[in-house]
Structure 1
Amino acid sequence: MKKYALFVLLVFFAVAVGIQFSEPVAAAKWVKLDKKVIYNPYLEPGNTKIVFMVYKKGKNKVMVKQKFYVKDPGSTKFTYRYTWTNYLTKVSKKKLIFRQWHAIDERYGKKIFKTRYSAVKFYYRYYIKKYINTLKP
């Protein structure tokens, strides 16, 4: 009987340790990294507001959601139009893939960059300058 109780106790302990080790792996979720709001009166008829919500998963995956809002002439409120989702994924030591989901066309665009930066560093050092700052009037 003592051997059986010891065996049950060891199995219970092994299950408890297994749950503790599996918890951090399951917790890999998208974490909010940055938020930028840009007002541009020249993109569409009326004033345009673009909200960039940036999330990261580790250091090698970044997701940028761009929500476009338009204020029609004579209106005081912005109305939601569409969302674009961009993904920056580091796939090897010197290769980063940039994918963009166009909500209007319902298609992906893809571009490959040769860089040593992680996806998070690439976002801060390249993406903001190339894509976000060019939208400012």
Structure 2
Amino acid sequence: SMIEHVQSSDVLEKCTKDILSIIKPTEDDRNKRLHVIQEIVNSISLVGGLGDAAVKPFGSFLSELYTKSGDLDVSVELPNVSGFSTSKEKKQNLLRELMKALQISGVARDVNFIPTARVPVLQYVSNHFGISCDRSINNYPG
């Protein structure tokens, strides 16, 4: 009947709103991610020769389609030295240095460095903000 139909659509709508409120990032979630990006900027300053590197979040963070539990994808973009692309080996070495910087500054836990991935990546969880981070080098989608 019509009445049952109306009730079920109300239930569905409430259910949808509940789900969205659980997964939709709040201002606080956004701020936490911005703080984690700042932690990354700070850790880069501990690594020699990365002074001009830019930290660029990408993926779901930019599209605002991330969920509270989602990973934060960040690329450390090196200044382009006259068109040379950065070798995989150099990326691995830099990520290794960045891993040391994270460990020295104590901002990360569950650190996992995957040098042999197609795109070498450094994964960790921010101690202060509980956010998982995947960090790569020169991996920003142009």
TM-score by length of 2: 0.39
Larger Rg: 1
Higher RCO by CA contacts (8 Å cutoff, separation 6 or greater): 2
Give the number of the structure whose residues are more often strand, by fraction.
1
Give the number of the structure whose residues are more often helix, by fraction.
2
TM-score by length of 1: 0.40
